[in-house]
Structure 1
Amino acid sequence: MANTPRIIAILAVPGVQLLDVAGPLDVFAEANVQAGKEMYAPMVVGSRPGPIRSSSGVRLIPDLIIGKPGTETIHTLLVAGSPHAADLKPTPAVARWVTDRARRAKRYGSICSGAFLLGACGLLDGRRVTTHWAVAETLSDTFPAVTVEADALYVADGRLRTAAGVTAGLDLALALVTEDLGKDVSMRVASQLVMYFKRPGGQMQFSRHGEAAPAGRSALQGLQRWVAAHLAEDHSVPLMAERMHLSPRHFARLFRSEVGVSPAAWVEATRVEAARRLLESGHYAPKQVAAECGFSNGDHLRRAFMHYVGVSPADYRKRHGGAHD
């Protein structure tokens, strides 16, 4: 029926990240306001009777309990994440309910690490998805039939919709409102909630993967520490190989084997991570950062930054810097 509100059901497991639930619910509620009528009927689903204790300690009262009588006409099913979602396994009852409702819903998906529950139900195989950057590699390893797009804020693949980490649930909800009600309504929702209609860049601009500890045998770790402390110097493969008393070819093969990436890729990623820290301080302009971190010029820094972070150094400094010019 055309006037029946779309039921948006968000499954909240014990220990759920509160913002994974509250953020999208606020987007759908505001869409009702901006549309001038009840287009959505958001509800929280619990896996068992009683309040759901979130990771922050705040308790949610579910509208629907799995295994109890309730609606059979869910339009969109979303599974919220939790800080320990990668270690949680759904009970058979929860898995059956999620699988059944996902197959019958017009859309289904996850927010943040809620993707692990969908994966455990076999609902991600052969699909493109995203999740929180910190667990993207774990999701890929756990479910090898799934293509994980670690930098994406949200991904649509057929009826499946997945969002990246925590606040990206708002981006996903807004994208769903755009699908349903059009750009004009969703732009008004974004304005009212003081959020981007389309956030620039991906989630990797918030990650800290570049701060990983040195890897490999002790001599390689020593080289990595030395390079990180002298980023402005020339760190070509021949020069690094000479420092290790190895041929360039043997050094490159050894480095990739033990560190997992090529020497050149590691140096560039390390320089980008150092550039991020300087830009976050707010005291350095991009041109100064390029020189401090060993980039040949500002254009080189910009290209590397766009590749690893997804936004320009200038935009990153504006949003993450602690000071201004």
Structure 2
Amino acid sequence: METRRVIVVGYDAAQLLDIACVTSALESANWHGAAPCYEVRLATPGGRPIVTDSALTLQGQVTLERVTGAIDTLIVSGGIGCENAAADPSIVAHVRRLARQSRRVASVCTGAYVLAAAGLLDGRRATTHWQWARRLATLHPEVRVDADPIFIRDGEVATSAGVTAALDLTLAFVEEDNGVELSRTVARGLVTYLQRPGNQAQMSMFVSAPPASNSLIKRTVEHITGHLDADLSTPALAAGAGVSERHLTRLFLKHLGQTPGRYVRQARTEAAAHLLASTSLPMAAVAARCGFGTAETLRQAFVDRYGIAPSRFRLAQAPA
């Protein structure tokens, strides 16, 4: 194959960034020596221009219905028009047809709705934007929806979370095709994170504030995130909040969907990920600063959370 043929499927009200993250990363890979190079084309119904959900118009480069031949990668974009696209028999049928001609198939964000409608996610584990995951699971119970990861690879089919997670997925493809050095070069050129593991959570608790409706939970969370190396056991947190352990646990489950202990472990692991990526602190120092006590305890929590050892995670963030 002289080129890697990539077809990006767009439709009216597709998310512009879903498309641009993919195309920009792959074109950057070409500039930096991808071999074979990527031949990227935007396919639209009828080959018509599409109005994205950013109100900008994109010109289709090829007609979706007329695309034939072998495809390296088929990527379906997401956007607020996803449900209309998933309900369009023609779009769904042609995505299903093109998938049979593709080495790998992927969706960005709510493009998973289209893949699901085409039956391409049946029996597979898949993700999408966290805000749309529950509806996807309701509409397609045959799909094992996991709203947490940035992207999921299940065999030859990959799905990613919302918007800029497209960049993480595309960088993973570039690394798979060309090696880690080129992937890092592309990431640096795009001034983006080097490179988030697919199992990293879509939403960090440090940017997702707890519901302000419960002041006790808010105060407790603020204490946790500000004192990660302190005693954050459930008895200690309950004593600090002036409530029983049982009542504190009930409030955490109601407002945050998890127990205090699980929340603390998640907060400590996310903080450790940040320190591993942004500092050269020894592993034992990272563990102590984040409240894990030992490097081995940190390693176990990190593998549980991200599916990768902290040492490998740090190596992946290091400049080439």
Same fold (TM over 0.5): yes
Provide the residue aligned with 2:248 in structure 1.
251
Match of 2:125 among 121, 124, 128: 128
Provide the residue aligned with 1:230 in structure 2.
227
Q: Verify: 1:166 aligned to 2:166, yes or no.
A: yes
User: Is the contact between residue 174 and residue 182 of structure 2 (CA under 8 Å) also seen in structure 1?
Assistant: no
* Deviates most, 112-121 or 139-148: 139-148
Provide the residue aligned with 2:60 in structure 1.
62
State the shift of 1:89 in Å.
2.5
State the shift of 1:217 in Å.
2.7
Counterpart residue identity of residue 62, structure 2: L
Structure 2 Cα separation of the partners of residues 61 and 92 of structure 1: 20
Match of 2:75 among 61, 73, 79: 79
Match of 1:109 among 96, 105, 124: 105
Provide the residue aligned with 2:271 in structure 1.
274
Q: How many residues align?
A: 297
Match of 1:95 among 91, 95, 103: 91
Provide the residue aligned with 1:183 in structure 2.
none
User: Is the contact between residue 127 and residue 133 of structure 2 (CA under 8 Å) also seen in structure 1?
Assistant: yes
Distance 1:156 1:294, change over 3 A: closer
Unaligned runs of 5+ in 1: 34-39, 178-185
Provide the residue aligned with 1:262 in structure 2.
259
Unaligned runs of 5+ in 2: 188-193
Structure 2 Cα separation of the partners of residues 174 and 316 of structure 1: 15
Identity %: 25
**Superposed CA RMSD:** 4.3
Provide the residue aligned with 1:9 in structure 2.
7
Look up the SS of the partner of 2:258 in the other structure.
coil
TM-score by length of 2: 0.69
Distance 1:107 1:51, change over 3 A: same
TM-score by length of 1: 0.68
Distance 1:139 1:282, change over 3 A: farther
User: Is the contact between residue 46 and residue 64 of structure 2 (CA under 8 Å) also seen in structure 1?
Assistant: yes
Partner deviation per Cα, 1:138-184 (whole Å, 9 max, x = no partner): 65466443113543755234x64445622313434765x6xxxxxxx
Look up the SS of the partner of 2:205 in the other structure.
helix
Look up the SS of the partner of 2:253 in the other structure.
helix
Provide the residue aligned with 1:203 in structure 2.
198
Distance 1:262 1:64, change over 3 A: same
Look up the SS of the partner of 1:243 in the other structure.
helix
